[in-house]
Amino acid sequence: MSMNVFFQPFVGRDYTTGGIFGKRIMVLGESHYCDEGCTDCGNVANHRECRTFTNGVVNDYLNEDKPRERWMSTFLKFERSLVGHETEWPERQRIWQSVLFYNYLQVAMGGPRKAGSDAEYRQAEQALFSVLDQYRPQYIIAWGNRLWGQMPGGERWQDGDAISIDGYTVNTGNYALSGGGRVKVMAVNHPSVGYSWDYWHKVIETFLKR
């Protein structure tokens, strides 16, 4: 794993086989938030213990003994949009163990819904490509239009055909992977607010058939 990757991805135990989806799917969040206020967040030498932050978040969500917190509704709404119905514990485990979850920004934000700086988005590009080249997903579903607008362009990127459902158009594209092959990419509205999981299920279902 490249040293550019500070927050290591959560890799579900069934991800490589595609799990319940039969396809390798990367779920791409935008950022973690943390109220520690470190001035050198992302420094591997000083904050090695934070590299497992992403895994801790997903494992907390999947731990039935953990009290439910507000942020968890983001994961709940998104998982329902993957399968198209309300979900309960056993299925929830199967869903998240079938995917890879990675947060794009490699420094934590000071609060929810905050955006990174342009420099922080640019610094995260190489980390994303190193994760893509290592884990070789077939599909990426990114969380939010802000993130979609900041994702890398360049020579690896190619525009794809838009998906139009119920009068709303969702853009897609794909990235080249090292050694051949491409990964298809789209974005959903951020599942934290005003997220219609039944609508997004229709879009995701169409996307995953491509």
Amino acid at 148: W
Cα(166)–Cα(202) distance, integer angstroms: 10
Contact present, 144 and 30 (Cβ < 8 Å) = yes
Q: Please report the pLDDT score of residue 107 as a whole number.
A: 78
pLDDT in tens, 143-168: 999 999 999 999 999 999 999 999 99
Give the per-residue pLDDT at 6.
86
Higher pLDDT: 75 or 40? It is 75
Stronger pLDDT, 108 or 134, i.e. the higher one? 134
Identify whether the C-beta of residue 4 lies closer than 8 Å to the C-beta of residue 132.
no
Residue 109 above 70 pLDDT?
no
Mean predicted confidence (pLDDT) in 13-26:
98
Q: Check whether 9 has a pLDDT greater than 90.
A: yes
Cα–Cα–Cα angle for 156, 161, 164, nearest 5°?
A: 140
What's the pLDDT score for residue 80?
A: 98
Burial 103-126 (b: 16+ CB within 10 A, else e): bbbbbbbeeeeeebeeebbebbbe
How far apart are alpha carbons 46 and 186 in whole angstroms?
35
Q: Is 185 helix (H, G, I), strand (E, B) or coil?
A: strand
pLDDT at 120: 87
**Shortest CA distance to 98 belongs to which of 58, 38, 127?**
58
CA distances from 182 to 2, 102, 209 (A): 20, 18, 15
For the stretch 78-102, pLDDT in tens is 999 999 999 999 999 999 999 999 9
Q: List, for residues 20-68, the tens digit of each pLDDT value.
A: 999 999 999 997 665 566 565 455 555 666 788 899 999 999 999 999 9
Distance CA 80, CA 76 (A): 6
Number of H helices, E strands in the chain: 6, 9
Q: How far apart are CA 171 and CA 160, in angstroms?
A: 7
Q: What is the pLDDT of residues 173-190, one digit of tens each?
A: 999 999 999 999 999 999
Q: State residue 153's pLDDT score.
A: 96
| Average predicted confidence (pLDDT) for the chain | 90
Question: How far apart, in whole angstroms, are the C-alpha atoms of residue 201 and residue 176?
Answer: 26
Encode pLDDT of 110-152 as tens digits. Answer: 555 566 778 889 989 999 999 999 999 999 999 999 999 999 9
